[in-house]
Amino acid sequence: MSGYRDDDDNRRDPPPGGQTRSLSWLWILLILALLGWNVWAFLAPAAGLGSAEIPYSTFLEQVEAGNVKSVEIRGCRVYGAFKEPVEWLNAAPGADRPASVPYAEPGAQGLTASDRTEDFTTVIPEAVGDESLLPLLRAKRVTIRAVPGGTPWYLVLLSNGLPILLLVGFLLWMGRQSTQTQGDITGFLRSRARRYSPSGQRRMLFSDVAGEEEAKRDLAEVVDFLKNPRKYHDLGARIPRGILLVGPPGTGKTLLARAVAGEANVPFFNISASEFVEMFVGVGASRVRDLFDRAKRAAPSIVFVDELDAVGRQRGVGVGGGSDEREQTLNQLLVEMDGFDERQNVIVMAATNRPDVLDPALLRPGRFDRHITVGLPDRQGRQGILDIHTRRLPLAREVDLEVLSRSTAGFSGADLANLCNEAALNAARNNRRQVTMADFDEALDKLLLGAARTTLLSEQERRTIAYHEAGHALVAASLPEADRIRKISIVPRGHAGGATELLPAEDRTNYTRSYLLAQLTVLLAGRAAEELYVHDVTVGAENDLQRATETARRMVTRWGMSELGLACYRAGAHEQPFLGYDLTQGRDYSEAVAADIDRAVNDLLQSRYEVATRILQFEEEAMHRLVELLLREETITAEQLAAVLGGPADA
């Protein structure tokens, strides 16, 4: 997230294999270069720096003959130049003559080729020396230049010191690689939590999170404790050690945790609960210990565990018990949370969308003793979220965020962010410079129904789909308790051949019996329209029947909205996430009651099906007009439907 910088210096990732191989090749090249340098430093003086190597006796003969122009004496080696080129002969019969050859007298046995040179080099015998050389050179008026003897200092340094430095560097590099390998082995047991420290950039604050005003008010107390802990300690108060954020996916639980850290300006450790668990038993517990040790050293700080139910599920339930590794990790987490010092300013925050599966030991006072519900945003919250996600979008003037917030009832924050992104992508595909309201409508259809398909349907299939969707629309428009119609389409999208989009006129937190009955009637109207006007039924009502059956069964077994009375019955195995749990618990009602439940569900569905049939029979003329309009336009809006029915769009 912007405003946070990854500042985790407690864990260092090993270099990739390619980088290690590159470093190894670099050391090999350096050693080869050093060997080449030493060979050159050894051979260059011996070759006379490009001059011909001659015997010392030949050198004396040329000096006495007056053919030497100048000499340079470097210790025991003499470099010089002749006045006139001297003829040289090969030393090996039939061999290719090298660049510099030794001198031999003309006519010597076995010499077959000759050469001429002006520069030479020779060596004064160290065993005997030659005290008469300098007087002889002076007598022959040879220019003499003396250089201190021995190899130059830089050659000595490179030849002797550089190998030692390279050897020491190579040993240090090998030791570092060995230490790093050992660190990787021990690092397997360390926590992989990402640490975010507030940087100089803009931090994430409560103002950056919209739609959760109640949750932010509950978390403001945590922020005040992290900022002013002494105020609470002096009064003997103890801040909750664990805060559990409960809500559907995409509602902003992680954003709220980061906003708490940003408001309090403290380090934030973020980890997913699934990162604790490994194949080896004990690794998860070790990582939990390491995480809490790091958090205590950085106190005041916040530890945020996402998807807590990955390790916090109830122990010893379901067929076969549980995982030893997961249960040991959970036990260590319980110990760490219970072992906090009351004066230690470390707060554990966790998020889950399945609080029903958590172990009771996690939820007791002293651990996660404060639960904050992060629900779906209301209309004003959705408008605030849309305002945040559209700040960087070039919006056209006709885009009305209030209308979008009314059209997106039931959307989470993640859904709204995806809606804005899809609208921007649609505008880019159509080469527009601004995001228009049409882009948002297309994005909303794509999210609700899926992308449009180019499937070619026969005229009979299109007419059947049109009657099906017109049945939904007419019944919904006839029942005042039903949701309002947004759009009717027979364009195939996703897995559906057509769709009737219904959106509630206002946010609902409590469903009445009349609303649920209207919903059942609308769901069954598509099948009723097929039977009345197509004189056959298709598989297109599968999803409608599934949803209607589920709603009716809940009305009978859980909400007391049938002739069975007010008794509440357990809904079935799908309500319990643990495999085999219901087999051990048994049912809380008899077989006779189960038959009564099935009969009540079927009677409820049949009664609503008859209501939908009577409405469609009464609206036969409007039905045919709506079908013809759908076949012609393929997609119609609520205003066009109102024109067909002869009333206002909101009627």
Please give the structure tokens belonging to residue 401.
């965020």
Distances (CA, A) of 348 to 107, 213, 295, 302, 351: 102, 21, 10, 6, 10
Topology of domain 379-449, per CATH? Helicase, Ruva Protein; domain 3 (1.10.8)
Please give the structure tokens belonging to residue 78.
């003499």
Give 603's Cβ-side CA count (13 Å radius): 12
Length of the chain: 651
Q: Where are the beta strands (DSSP E) in 221-369?
A: 242-246, 268-272, 301-306, 346-352
pLDDT for residue 35: 64
Q: 351 has which bridge partners?
A: 245
Between CA 23 and CA 294 the distance in angstroms is 33
Could you tell me the residue ranges of all domains in the chain?
47-150, 194-373, 379-449, 459-645
Topology of domain 194-373, per CATH? Rossmann fold (3.40.50)
Q: How many Å separate Cα 280 from the centre of its chain?
A: 25
Q: Where are the beta strands (DSSP E) in 107-211?
A: 114-123, 143-147, 194-198
Identify the burial level of 485 via C-beta atoms within 10 angstroms of its C-beta, where 0-12 means exposed, 13-18 middle and 19 or more buried. buried
Question: Hey, is 336 helix, strand or coil?
Answer: helix
Between CA 286 and CA 534 the distance in angstroms is 66
**Secondary structure (DSSP) of 505-547:** SS--SS--HHHHHHHHHHHHHHHHHIIIIISS--GGGHHHHHH
pLDDT for residue 612: 95
Please give the structure tokens belonging to residue 258.
């980061």
Q: For the chain, which residues score pLDDT lower than 50?
A: 1-18, 46-49, 88-114, 183-184, 188, 200, 319-321, 573-574, 580, 648-651
Q: Which residues are part of the catalytic machinery?
A: 469
Q: What does the H/E/C string look like for 344-375?
A: CCEEEEEEECCHHHECHHHHCCCCCCEEEECC
pLDDT for residue 108: 39
Tokens 């609470």 sit at which residue? 232
Nearest in space to 144 (alpha carbons), one of 136, 155, 156 = 136
pLDDT for residue 527: 94
Between CA 137 and CA 522 the distance in angstroms is 124
**DSSP-assigned letter for residue 94:** T
**DSSP-assigned letter for residue 496:** B
CATH code 3.30.720.210 for 47-150:
yes
As a whole number of Å, the end-to-end CA separation of the chain is 46
Between CA 294 and CA 346 the distance in angstroms is 10
Q: How many helices (H) does the chain have, and how many strands (E)?
A: 22, 15
Identify the burial level of 639 via C-beta atoms within 10 angstroms of its C-beta, where 0-12 means exposed, 13-18 middle and 19 or more buried. exposed
Cβ partners under 8 Å of residue 354, min gap 6: 309, 577
Contacts 24+ apart (CB under 8 A), 421-427: 421/389, 422/446, 422/447, 423/393, 424/393
Cβ partners under 8 Å of residue 392, min gap 6: none
Cis omega (within 30 of 0) on the bond before 300? yes
User: Mind listing the pLDDT tens digit for each residue in 417-450?
Assistant: 999 999 999 999 999 999 999 999 889 888 887 7
Strands 499-503 and 484-489: antiparallel
Q: How many Å separate Cα 268 from the centre of its chain?
A: 18
Between CA 76 and CA 545 the distance in angstroms is 109
Distances (CA, A) of 549 to 247, 482, 514, 560, 606: 26, 18, 17, 16, 11
Decide whether 194-373 matches 459-645 in CATH topology: no
Between CA 81 and CA 68 the distance in angstroms is 6
pLDDT for residue 156: 63
Helical H segments across 377-412, by residue range: 379-389, 401-407
**DSSP-assigned letter for residue 88:** E
Nearest in space to 366 (alpha carbons), one of 330, 332, 342 = 342
Write down the CATH number for the domain with range 459-645.
Answer: 1.20.58.760
Q: Where are the beta strands (DSSP E) in 109-167?
A: 114-123, 143-147
pLDDT for residue 158: 65
**pTM of this structure:** 0.64
Distances (CA, A) of 343 to 220, 234, 262, 296, 638: 20, 11, 22, 11, 61
Question: Hey, is 269 helix, strand or coil?
Answer: strand
CB 623 within 8 A of CB 616: yes
Cβ partners under 8 Å of residue 643, min gap 6: none
**Amino acid residing at 377:** P
